[in-house]
Amino acid sequence: MKKLFKIKRQDSPEGQNYWEEFEMVLPVGATLIQVLEQIRLRPITVNQQAVNPVAWDSCCHQAICG
């Protein structure tokens, strides 16, 4: 199923935040971590612009919570 994700990004802790949109085809039941990992592997926005891969903090990686 195709979904649109809007991610609020910031280049540094002091930097201005901004939004980027990514469209992805996902399997039913995909977790948020799986979505972020797919965007990290292919950081291309809906406008076909290559951007920096997303980064995030997490503590579990069990793929059950998010």
Per-residue pLDDT of the chain (66 residues; tens, 9 = 90+): 899 999 999 999 899 999 999 999 989 988 888 899 999 999 999 999 999 999 887 776 665 665
Nearest to 42 by CA among 56, 52, 32: 52
Instruction: Read off the tokens for 60.
Output: 């579990």
- The range of the structural domain enclosing residue 54 comes to 1-66
CA atoms within 13 A on the CB side of 31: 10
In this prediction, residue 59 carries a pLDDT of 73
- The pLDDT value given to residue 61: 61
Number of domains in the chain: 1
- Is residue 54 within 8 Å of residue 39, measured between CB atoms? yes
**Residue 31 confidence (pLDDT):** 86
